[in-house]
Structure 1
Amino acid sequence: MCGRYAFLLPPEAMIALFKVLNEVDYPPRYNITPTQPIIAIVERQGRRTAELFRWGLVPGWVKDPREFSLLINARAETMADKPSFRDAVRNSRCVVPATGYFEWMKGTDGVRRPYYITSNETETMAFAGLYSTWAGPNGEEVDTVCIVTVDPNLEISGVYDRMPAILRGQAAIDGWLNTRDVDIRGAVGLAVSPPQGTMTYHPVGKAVGRADAEGPELIAPLTAEQAAEEAQSARPRKKAAGGSQLDLFG
Structure 2
Amino acid sequence: MCGRFAMDDTVNELITEFVETTGLSPEDWRADWRPSYNIRPTDPVPILLETLVDRSEPEGPTIHRAELAQWWFTPSFAKELRSRHPLFNARSESITEKASFRDAVKRQRAIIPAIGYYETHDDGSAKNPYFIQPPEGLLYFAGLYSWWADPAKEHGDPKRWHLTTTILTREAVGEVAWVHDRTPVTLPKDLIETWVDPKTVGDAAFVGAMVDAATPVAEALEFHRIASPIRGDSPDMIRAI
TM-score > 0.5, shorter chain as reference? yes
Give the corresponding residue for 2:137. Answer: 123
Residue 194 (structure 1) aligned with residue 215 (structure 2): yes
Give the corresponding residue for 2:156. Answer: none
Give the corresponding residue for 1:104. Answer: 120
CA contact (8 A) 1:3 1:102 kept: yes
Q: Distance in 2 between matches of 1:220 and 1:197?
A: 22
Give the corresponding residue for 1:47. Answer: 63
Q: Distance in 2 between matches of 1:12 and 1:79?
A: 29
Of the candidates 71, 79, 84, which is equivalent to residue 63 of structure 1? 79
Give the corresponding residue for 1:32. Answer: 39
Residue 181 (structure 1) aligned with residue 200 (structure 2): yes
Q: Deviations over 1:17-48 (max 9, x none)?
A: 53454442433210100011011111112211
Q: Distance in 2 between matches of 1:181 and 1:56?
A: 24
CA contact (8 A) 1:56 1:72 kept: yes
Secondary structure at the aligned position of 1:207 is classed as coil
Of the candidates 130, 133, 151, which is equivalent to residue 171 of structure 2? 151
- The alpha-carbon deviation at position 188 of structure 1 amounts to 3.5
Query: Which residue identity lines up with residue 147 of structure 1 in the other structure?
Result: I
Residue 162 (structure 1) aligned with residue 182 (structure 2): yes
Unaligned runs of 5+ in 2: 53-61, 154-159
Residue 206 (structure 1) aligned with residue 228 (structure 2): yes
Could you say if the C-alpha distance between residues 220 and 65 of structure 1 is closer, same or farther in structure 2, counting changes exceeding 3 Å?
same
Secondary structure at the aligned position of 1:31 is classed as strand
Give the corresponding residue for 1:6. Answer: 6
Residue 133 (structure 1) aligned with residue 140 (structure 2): no
Unaligned runs of 5+ in 1: 223-250
- The alpha-carbon deviation at position 64 of structure 1 amounts to 2.6
Q: Deviations over 1:77-127 (max 9, x none)?
A: 00001000000100210000010000001369x43211000012x421110
Residue 87 (structure 1) aligned with residue 107 (structure 2): no
- TM-score after normalising by structure 2: 0.82
Q: Distance in 1 between matches of 2:34 and 2:85?
A: 29
- The alpha-carbon deviation at position 181 of structure 1 amounts to 2.9
Residue 73 (structure 1) aligned with residue 94 (structure 2): no
Q: Distance in 1 between matches of 2:81 and 2:219?
A: 40
Per mean C-alpha deviation after superposition, the further-off stretch among 157-166 and 10-19 is 10-19
Aligned pairs for 1:210-249 (under 5 A) are 210=231, 213-222=232-241
RMSD: 2.0
Q: Distance in 2 between matches of 1:29 and 1:149?
A: 21
Could you say if the C-alpha distance between residues 55 and 189 of structure 1 is closer, same or farther in structure 2, counting changes exceeding 3 Å?
same
Q: Deviations over 1:121-161 (max 9, x none)?
A: x4211100001111121232211100000111121110001
Q: Distance in 2 between matches of 1:11 and 1:151?
A: 26
